[in-house]
Structure 1
């Protein structure tokens, strides 16, 4: 496999892992909020059936929200993790520690663009703060996924001299 193909595959793997991790974390948060408000504290404004419907729909809704709200930070983090995995053979923790504030700033930028400057600046900060909670599990998943050994990158010259590596011909 060529190096450019490998970079693309690694970035797509990290991108899918990032969206999946963000979806799982946001779903757990949403279900916990519904259970806390509606079942533990008996929310009078919502029926138990509506609460169960919200719990059932949470994974799909959070997947759409993760794609819409956190696309830019997840894409940048996945690209950095994929490039570091291909170039270094692993994803070091130092890159992930550096990516956390970058993801938070990109999330702030994206929420400001999506909201179009509407509302107070504190609205953007609040939305960014809530999303920042979900970047930590994503980056931890990147680190755990990046620790597994990677296949060596072959060059075109390795493909030409394959008979020298064959134990039968030696």
Structure 2
């Protein structure tokens, strides 16, 4: 049953709650868009305040299939990490009294994703996160599940060892 009392007939269903952002963002309407995502520039600074940054799922990014309305869309580890590097460079610049100049639009970040789906999955490599793309390769198959498990173990081990600069 939906919140308005309607019932939808179905054989299979999956309920996905909306990504609504952190409570403090909900209480700061001048910082967020209608979906409670922080509106950011390509520097990942908020549109409203230069000293507020948002990356990953917190950042509202324009995507082509929403007629250029900024939305919060799930972002995998690689683009979130790229956004965080750009934000970190800009924060360092601000601390030094310099102008933040590192920038990259979300759509222009390269796509490097392994989408796991149980015992199967898809690996994707593309020149841009969002269309239009000049080059993209998608490789489906069960090897992606094994790769994802291996990568997770590698990533956790390198972090525990303090080797954060390894790929």
TM-score (norm 1): 0.31
Over alpha carbons, which structure has the higher Rg?
1
TM-score (norm 2): 0.32
Which is helix-richer, 1 or 2? 1
Higher relative contact order (CA 8 A, sep 6+): 1
